Structure 1
């Protein structure tokens, strides 16, 4: 998509940080059709596994009420309450398992789409949820148009499936007037199972399309402009100018600490102005000479100046100074390959001081 096609210039895919923040705020893709489809499947399971046995038990328990209505005492309000309570309990034993199956399927459809997350901001009151202007925009905006299109497709597909199924069952419906009334529940149940099965098949395409649409719409709502990506990168990685300034300050502090340690040196090996390495050798402190400071050009000159101010010997040895500068590290002893060369210089200094 060209950048000019988006009114806000949001042409870039959302970053991982943007997606993570959206999920933490409860902004996740969600299909409203999936729980409806799951409820239809739950109804199909309930009709196939629970209703046949439950309806038979319900009929057996309520048949005395219909066959011998005079056998129940209704002399007072208490008797009526007992009868209503028993009837309601019988009906509840039939309905509760069915309702639990429907609720379980609908809940699973919601949970499988996204991991449950408690977000207080989602339940906080917002004016946009009750604003007539915002509601008007949701109804007549693009999301509202898509919802209207889905509703029309559902009505048309379900109506067509129901019409075709009822036409195919028309002969059974006519013959039902001449069969034993005891067979009617089984006939109605079989037709209901076929009807719900057909409806669930008809809505599969709509549900699959809605799942894809919900994710695409969510991804589109999180898209970012190039400037937003740059700003986020600065927030995560830090402003390059600020980072450069911090690195410069860190180098300055490190350089100042290094130069402050030069006055403790035993000898400074120079080349003669381009490189300088300050070494300290105290057998009680370290088994080998320790590098206190090193530098080139202006830093080398400053090391020499400090050494001369404190009466520290400055030995000019171009190859050794350059090699030490390249290999040795500050606050570490010199590598073993320099022991002989540095030992000769130290021996010369100690002999001269005597």
Structure 2
């Protein structure tokens, strides 16, 4: 009951991290039916296109059996048993030599089916011994699970349909060959090839339909099993936030974005106020456009040094005013007007900068100094 209740709470779709960890453990949506389809497809191609060239050697093997049928005496003596063994071994060896490459191609077809799904995952977790794998209670639960029921129904459907198709095609083929007088080995091999081709073609179409449905079911069932509760998502979020590597990457990303924003903002500034080394604030004021000065960028220590460097490169005036620079760094917001209590002090500095650009000489406001070098 507790396990069912726990599953009912898992209503949220799995996160990418949950799916990635499941894959690392070897838990991926994989359909065996795709491998069956590719294996049968390989067998059909072999039967339809390769077997005609193999039919003659195979008929030769059968001809040898027919020719020696009246020469082998099977009795209680040792020689008769040896003769029978020799004939049997000759047939098995001849057929085996002819069919071994064909069976190898079938195996390769099944492997190709797994590769098509991209589910070749080598995970030590799959082969690690676990008590739950040999637990009778765990096995009983799996026996009556939804997945087991679907697999059982699918197997029964395949056996019934493939069996019915095979019997129907074989019955009509045998009736046809029985009506022929004087059966030759070549006729037997040709009959076997044609019957097998017809049967495989129908079975291939059937398995293809089953495989498509099975792939869709496997993917749905995999995501259903990986579903999470709200508490699982919260716990994962805490783990992710606490991961030093992820946290470091996020901080690096934030710093990079800040550097890009500053590189675009500082060249547009009217003036940069400094502390002189610990803080820097880039301000913009355009007469007739801005109601009050706007903070374009601000930073401390290394970021402040970068702002000063960009200001020098862009020939933006740098004014040192320790209390004002620190105060603006603490209260001003980027891309917003500075607080009203600092309008007057900043206006005096911006007025000085504008006069300086018009070659009008006037003293700097009290507490301020012009920095030409860092």
Shared topology, TM-score over 0.5?
A: yes
| Structure 1 segment 37-48 matched on structure 2, within 5 A | 37-48=37-48
Residue 296 of structure 1: aligned partner: 327
The answer on 1:231 being equivalent to 2:226 is no
Equivalent residues of 2:65, 2:87 under 8 A apart: no
Tell whether 2:147 aligns with 1:147: no
2:97 corresponds to which residue? Answer: 93
Question: Does the alignment pair 1:214 with 2:218?
Answer: yes
> How far apart are the structure 2 equivalents of 1:89 and 1:343?
110
Aligned partners of 2:275 and 2:320 also within 8 Å: no
Q: Cα RMSD over matched residues?
A: 4.5
Which residue of structure 2 lines up, in the alignment, with residue 27 of structure 1?
27
Higher deviation after alignment, 102-111 or 204-213: 204-213
* Matching residue of 2:140: 136
Query: Are 1:345 and 2:364 an aligned pair?
Result: yes
Question: Is 1:118 the equivalent of 2:122?
Answer: yes
Is the contact between residue 162 and residue 195 of structure 1 (CA under 8 Å) also seen in structure 2?
A: yes
Tell me the distance in 2 between the aligned counterparts of 1:222 and 1:25. Answer: 13
Identify if the C-alpha distance between structure 1 residues 66 and 235 changes in structure 2 by more than 3 Å, giving closer, same or farther.
same
Structure whose alpha-carbon radius of gyration is higher = 1
Contact 2:35 2:114 in 1 (8 A): yes
CA distance 1:186–1:130, change in 2 (3 Å): same
Q: CA contact under 8 A between 1:25 and 1:122: conserved in structure 2?
A: yes
| Secondary structure of the structure 2 residue equivalent to 1:295 | helix
1:198 is matched with 202
Query: Paired residue for 1:60?
Result: 60
- SS of residue in 2 equivalent to 1:21: helix
Residues 1:222 and 1:347: Cα distance change in structure 2 (over 3 Å):
closer
Change beyond 3 A, Cα 1:62–1:180: closer
Q: How many Å separate the matches in 2 of 1:191 and 1:85?
A: 26
C-alpha distance 290-347 of structure 1, shift in aligned 2 (>3 A): closer
Shift of 1:235: 3.3
Within the alignment, does 1:181 sit opposite 2:184 as a pair? yes
Taking structure 1 as reference, are residues 343 and 123 closer, same or farther at Cα in structure 2, changes over 3 Å only?
farther
Stretches of structure 1 lacking an aligned partner (at least 5 in a row): 76-80, 248-257, 263-285, 301-316, 328-334
Equivalent residues of 2:39, 2:107 under 8 A apart: yes
CA distance in 2, matches of 1:124, 1:11: 30
1: CA distance, partners of 2:34 / 2:144: 23
Give the one of 321, 327, 345 matched to 1:321.
Answer: 345
- Asked whether the equivalents of residues 12 and 229 of structure 2 are also in contact (C-alpha less than 8 Å), the reply is yes
Contact 1:40 1:196 in 2 (8 A): yes
Q: How many matched pairs?
A: 277
Q: Distance in 2 between matches of 1:167 and 1:196?
A: 15
| Whole-Å separation in 2 of the counterparts to 1:111 and 1:59 | 37
Q: What CA deviation, in whole Å up to 9, does each residue of 1:311-349 have, x standing for no partner?
A: xxxxxx975623489x9xxxxxxx954857996138999
Q: Offset of 1:193 from its aligned partner?
A: 1.5
What is the distance in 1 between the residues matched to 2:8 and 2:367? 76
Q: Is this contact kept in 2: 1:58–1:90, CA < 8 A?
A: yes
> 2:36–2:110: 8 Å Cα contact kept in structure 1?
yes
Partners of 2:106 and 2:116 in 1: CA distance = 16
Deviation at 1:93, TM superposition (A): 2.9
More moved, 87-96 vs 180-189 = 87-96
Separation in structure 1 between the aligned mates of residue 88 and residue 321 of structure 2, nearest angstrom: 97
For normalisation by structure 2, the TM-score amounts to 0.59
Gap runs ≥5 in structure 2: 72-78, 80-84, 252-273, 279-311, 332-340, 370-374
Give the Cα–Cα distance (whole angstroms) in 2 for the partners of residues 208 and 198 of structure 1: 16
In structure 2, relative to structure 1, the CA distance for the partners of 1:129 and 1:210 (3 Å cut) is same
Corresponding residue for residue 50 of structure 1: 50
Contact 1:158 1:203 in 2 (8 A): no
After superposition, the C-alpha distances for 1:48-82 in whole angstroms (9 at most, x for unaligned) are 12333224224436755764698xxxx9xxxxx99
Assess, with a 3 A threshold, how the Cα gap between structure 1 residues 83 and 205 changes in structure 2: closer, same or farther: closer
